[in-house]
Amino acid sequence: MKPESKAKSAIVNAFEDGGHYARRFEDQFYVGFPDMILIPRGYPAFFTEAKIIDGHHFKPRLRQWVELERLSLSPKHVIPTMLGVKAGVHYLHKFAKIVYTCDCVVQQDGEPIVELFKRFYHERMEL
């Protein structure tokens, strides 16, 4: 299993194991659609494109960015995000054409992935 695929499976499993909703979409069937829909109990739905980070930034492909932008119509209910993974640490950011790791909400030591999404919501998205 490729590192990106392994990381996505682990995220989905962590959400499901905690009683939250998670679904992974395979690229071959949903070209350009975000990799996952993640819904922490009591929070909006996160449509998330995940990338392995090599360097200090990451970005969606053009078609992925178009889909993420289309999904941004109702920010109180749907939050399109980019999730980078580097050395086992997750970097979460609202969707963008290019995402710099220094601008992300970074997973803290020992922080479960579901808690990272909740913290991101409270720090960056609450209106």
How would you write the pLDDT of the chain (127 residues) with one tens digit per residue? 788 889 999 999 999 999 999 999 976 666 789 999 999 999 999 999 999 999 999 999 999 999 999 999 998 899 999 999 999 999 999 999 999 999 999 999 999 999 999 999 999 998 6
CATH class of this structure's domain 3-111: alpha beta
Domain residue limits, the chain: 3-111
Would you state the torsion angle of the CA atoms of residues 50, 98, 105, 3, taken in this order, to the nearest 10 degrees?
Answer: 30
Token representation of residue 68: 């993420």
Residue closest to 99 by CA, chosen among 67, 60, 126: 60
- pTM beyond 0.85: the answer is yes
Token pair 């922080």: residue? 111
Measured CA to CA, the distance from residue 66 to residue 19 in angstroms comes to: 30
pLDDT at 127: 62
Quick check: 80 and 34 in contact, CB under 8 A? yes
Contacts (Cβ under 8 Å, ≥6 apart) of 27 = 35
